[in-house]
C-alpha cells in the first residue's frame, strides 16, 4: 500500500493543526542515545539557565550562539522549548529532514506510473519514469489535447505543472518510488496464537483448534541435501518431503519422501502413512514408538494445484474429512518451521548439504554426498519419533507434544483397514495377466498365486513409489464398476526387499546408456571389420591376378628360345634341335634360295609331335676376315 500523505510530504496540509499535533507528541519525548551534539547543546543551555545574573545570562547566550553557529534569537527559542517541553527537544532536528516536498497529486502520479510499469510482465525502472516526466514536460501546450484527458483525470495540478515545464527532480522521483516499495514490502511477524482459542484462517472462515486429530496441515518442500543412488553411489538430486502435522499438539503424524516433485499422489501417500499405525524394524533404532494415527476432521493446505486435484477429492470422500485452504501463506507457520529445523538441525550435519541458497552452495556438496533415500528416511523417522514428537510443547510448561496429543483426544482413533487406504496409492496401471499368473510392469515380471485364475484377463495395478517390489492387484471390470482387491504380487527376479521407483528408473536409464555404448561400439567395429575385409579381399584378388599373369608370361617366354648358329665353344657335332622356331642359314647361295630351301627341307622332314629332328651341322669354315667373307659370299 502507498504511504499515507502527511504534512512532511505535503506542506499544503493545515500547518497549524500539524504544529499542534507535534507539540502534543513532543511532551513525551525521551532521548535514547546521548550524541556529542546533544551533550554540547545541553552544556550550553545549562550554562545559560544557571547564570547568576542578566549580564552573565547575556554572555552565555552569546557564547552558545557562537558555538552552535546560530542567532541569539534561535538560542532563546531553544531555551523556551526546554522550559516548556523538556531537555529532549535539544535532540530534535528538522521535522522534514530527508523528506521530499511535493504535492499529493504528484506523489500519486509517480506511484501510479510505477504500478503501471510493472504490469503484464513489464519492469520499468526509476530512471525511465523520470525520463517519461521530462518527455511529458517537453510537450507543453500539446498536453491540453483530449487524448491526455484520461491520463490526467485526477491530476489537474500535475498537468498544469507539466505544461509549464515543471516536474520533480530525479532525486525526488527516486525517493517517492523507494518509499512506496519499502512500505509495500514491509512485513510483520505474527506473535502466535494464544494457548486457548487458537484459530486457523481459511478461505471458508476461521477454524478454532480445540483437540487432537481435529485439524491436520499438509505441505511439502525440497530438502537442502544431495543424495546418492545405492546402486553405484553416484549423486542424484535433492529429495522432496511431504509432511502431515497435527495443529493442536504440533506432532508430526506422517510424511512421504521421494525424488519426484510433490503432487496429489505424494499427498495421498503422506496421508496414508499418517492415518495408519506405524511399525518399524529394529534397523531404524527407535527408542520410542510412533503412536499417532487416525483420521482428521479437517485437512488444511495452501492453494497449490495438487491440493485441488480430483485424486485428493476422492480421498476426502472416501475417508470423510473436510478440505480447507489457507487464507494467507502466514497461516502455515507451524509446518514451515519444522522444514527449517530439518534442514538446519539435521541435514546440515551430513555430507552433501547444499544450504538454502543456490548461489552460496558449498563447492564440496556433490563430492561429500553420502546418504541414500533409505538412509535419509531412517534419519527422519528417528528425528520425528525420538526427538520432535517427544520434545516439550512450546506454549505449555512441562508437557511434551506426544503427551498433549494423547491427552486431548476426544475418542480413541479408529483403526482403518489398509485396503480402504489403497485409494491413496499411486496411479493405476492396466496390464494383461500372462501364464503362471505373471504380469509385465516397469520392465519387471511380477508373479502371484492370486493371479492364476485371471490368465488372459486384464487387472488394475496400484503401487507405492517408495517401494515397487510389492504392488497390489485389483480386478478391472467393465461399465465403470469398481475393481475388487485380488492380492499382493512380488517382483520375480529382484533380490532387494525395497526399491524406490526413482532408483529403478535411474538403474534402467544407466543400463540403457551402457547398452547403447556397447551396441554402438560393436556396430562400429563390425562395420569397420567389414570394410577392412573387403579391402583385404580386393588386395588379395589383385595379387593373385598379378601372380597368374606373371606365370603366364613366364611360360610364354620359355617357349621361344634362340640358339646360336655358330657357337664359338661348341665342337662340330650333331645338335638336337626342337622343331619349333628353328632357323637355318645357308651361305652358299643367295638369301631367298636359302630360305626357300630351308622351308622346303622343314616341310619334307617335319617329324611327329613327340619326335625330334637330328640335323648334321656343316663343318665350320675358317674365316680370317669377316668383312671380306661377306663381300665374297653375301
Question: What are the beta bridge partners of residue 222?
Answer: 240
DSSP for 209-246, please give it. Answer: --STTSEEEEEEEE-SB--B-TTT--B----EEEEEEE
Indicate the SS3 state at residue 130: helix
Does this model's pTM top 0.75? My answer is: no
- Under 8 Å between Cβ of 299 and 322: yes
**CB neighbours of 118 closer than 8 A, spacing ≥ 6?**
124
> If you search the block for the grid coordinates 485409494, which residue do you land on?
423
Predicted confidence at residue 609, as pLDDT, reads 45
Contacts of 184 (CB under 8 A, 6+ apart): 1, 2
Residue 522: the pLDDT is 58
Class for domain 199-407, per CATH? Answer: alpha beta
Q: Where are the beta strands (DSSP E) in 7-82?
A: none
Q: In 10 A of CB 486, how many CB atoms?
A: 19
Q: CATH second-level architecture of 434-498? A: Roll (2.30)
Compute the C-alpha angle 330/332/335, nearest 5°: 140
- What is the mean pLDDT, run by run of 10 residues, along the chain of 634 residues? 41 42 50 74 88 90 90 90 80 60 87 88 87 89 88 89 89 90 76 68 89 93 88 81 93 90 86 91 91 93 87 86 86 84 90 82 85 90 93 85 91 83 73 86 84 85 78 74 79 74 70 55 62 79 87 71 52 46 44 48 49 51 68 70
Angstrom distances, CA of residue 310 to CA of 218, 220, 263, 303, 313? 17, 19, 12, 14, 5
Q: What are the b/e assignments for 145-179, b being 16+ CB within 10 Å?
A: eeeeeeebeebeebbebbbeeebbeeebbbbbbeb
- Supply 524's cell numbers: 562400429
CA distance 40 to 47: 11
Backbone angles phi, psi at 312, to 5 degrees: -70, -30
| Cβ 206 vs Cβ 200: under 8 Å | yes
Backbone dihedral angles phi then psi of residue 440, each to the nearest 5 degrees: -100, 125
Q: In this structure, is the dihedral angle defined by the CA atoms of residues 16, 17, 20 and 21, taken in order, positive or negative?
A: negative
Which sequence spans correspond to the domains of the chain? Answer: 30-91, 199-407, 434-498, 500-559, 575-633
Amino acid at each position: 500500500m502507498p504511504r499515507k500523505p502527511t504534512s512532511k510530504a505535503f506542506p499544503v496540509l493545515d500547518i497549524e493543526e500539524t504544529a499542534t499535533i507535534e507539540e502534543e507528541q513532543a511532551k513525551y519525548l525521551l532521548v535514547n542515545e546521548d550524541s556529542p551534539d546533544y551533550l554540547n547543546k545541553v552544556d550550553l543551555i545549562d550554562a545559560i539557565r544557571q547564570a547568576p545574573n542578566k549580564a552573565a545570562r547575556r554572555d552565555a547566550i552569546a557564547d552558545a550562539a557562537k558555538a552552535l553557529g546560530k542567532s541569539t534569537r534561535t538560542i532563546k527559542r531553544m531555551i523556551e522549548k526546554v522550559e516548556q517541553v523538556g531537555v529532549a527537544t535539544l535532540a530534535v532536528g528538522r521535522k522534514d529532514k530527508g523528506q521530499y516536498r511535493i504535492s499529493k497529486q504528484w506523489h500519486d502520479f509517480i506511484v501510479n506510473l510505477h504500478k503501471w510499469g510493472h504490469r503484464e510482465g513489464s519492469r520499468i525502472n526509476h530512471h525511465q519514469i523520470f525520463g517519461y516526466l521530462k518527455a511529458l514536460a517537453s510537450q507543453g501546450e500539446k498536453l491540453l489535447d483530449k487524448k491526455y484527458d484520461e491520463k490526467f483525470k485526477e491530476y489537474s495540478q500535475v498537468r498544469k505543472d507539466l505544461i509549464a515545464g515543471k516536474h520533480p527532480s530525479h532525486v525526488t522521483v527516486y525517493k517517492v518510488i523507494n518509499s512506496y516499495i519499502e512500505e509495500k514490502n514491509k512485513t510483520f511477524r505474527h506473535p502466535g496464537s494464544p494457548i486457548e482459542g487458537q484459530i486457523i484462517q481459511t478461505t471458508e472462515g476461521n477454524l478454532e483448534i480445540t483437540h487432537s486429530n481435529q485439524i491436520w496441515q499438509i505441505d511439502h518442500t525440497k530438502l537442502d541435501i544431495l543424495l546418492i543412488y545405492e546402486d553405484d553411489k553416484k549423486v542424484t538430486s535433492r529429495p522432496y518431503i511431504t509432511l502431515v502435522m497435527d495443529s493442536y499438539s504440533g506432532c508430526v503424524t506422517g510424511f512421504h519422501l521421494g525424488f519426484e516433485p510433490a503432487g496429489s499422489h505424494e499427498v495421498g501417500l503422506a496421508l496414508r502413512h499418517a492415518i495408519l499405525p506405524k511399525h518399524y524394524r529394529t534397523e531404524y533404532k527407535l527408542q520410542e514408538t510412533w503412536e499417532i494415527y487416525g483420521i482428521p476432521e479437517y485437512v488444511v493446505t495452501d492453494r497449490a494445484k495438487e491440493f485441488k486435484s480430483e485424486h485428493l477429492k476422492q480421498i476426502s470422500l472416501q475417508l470423510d474429512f473436510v478440505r480447507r485452504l489457507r487464507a494467507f501463506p502466514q497461516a502455515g507457520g507451524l509446518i514451515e518451521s519444522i522444514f527449517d529445523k530439518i534442514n538446519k538441525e539435521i541435514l546440515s550435519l551430513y555430507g552433501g548439504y547444499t544450504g538454502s541458497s543456490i548461489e552460496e552452495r558449498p563447492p564440496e556438496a556433490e563430492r561429500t554426498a553420502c546418504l541414500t533415500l533409505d538412509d535419509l528416511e531412517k534419519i527422519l523417522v528417528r528425528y520425528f519419533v525420538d526427538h520432535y514428537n517427544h520434545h516439550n510443547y512450546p506454549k505449555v510448561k512441562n508437557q511434551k507434544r506426544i503427551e498433549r496429543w494423547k491427552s486431548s483426544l476426544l475418542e480413541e482413533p479408529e483403526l482403518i483397514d489398509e485396503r480402504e487406504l489403497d485409494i491413496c496409492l499411486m496411479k493405476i496401471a492396466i496390464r494383461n495377466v500372462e501364464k503362471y499368473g505373471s504380469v509385465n510392469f516397469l520392465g519387471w515380471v511380477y508373479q502371484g498365486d492370486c493371479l492364476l485364475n485371471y490368465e488372459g484377463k486384464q487387472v488394475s495395478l496400484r503401487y507405492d513409489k517408495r517401494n515397487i517390489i510389492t504392488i497390489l492387484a485389483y480386478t478391472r471390470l467393465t461399465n465403470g464398476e469398481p475393481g475388487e482387491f485380488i492380492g499382493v504380487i512380488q517382483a520375480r527376479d529382484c533380490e532387494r526387499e525395497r526399491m524406490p521407483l526413482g532408483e529403478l528408473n535411474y538403474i534402467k536409464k544407466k543400463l540403457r546408456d551402457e547398452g547403447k555404448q556397447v551396441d554402438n561400439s560393436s556396430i562400429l567395429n563390425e562395420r569397420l571389420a567389414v570394410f577392412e575385409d573387403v579391402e583385404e579381399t580386393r588386395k588379395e584378388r589383385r595379387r593373385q591376378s598379378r601372380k597368374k599373369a606373371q606365370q603366364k608370361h613366364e611360360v610364354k617366354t620359355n617357349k621361344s628360345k634362340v640358339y646360336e648358329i655358330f657357337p664359338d665353344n661348341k665342337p662340330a657335332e650333331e645338335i638336337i634341335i626342337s622343331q619349333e622356331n628353328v632357323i637355318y642359314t645357308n651361305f652358299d647361295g643367295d638369301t631367298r634360295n636359302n630360305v626357300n630351301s630351308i622351308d622346303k627341307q622343314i616341310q619334307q622332314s617335319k617329324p611327329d609331335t613327340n619326335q625330334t629332328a637330328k640335323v648334321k651341322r656343316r663343318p665350320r669354315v675358317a674365316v680370317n676376315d669377316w668383312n671380306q667373307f661377306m663381300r665374297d659370299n653375301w
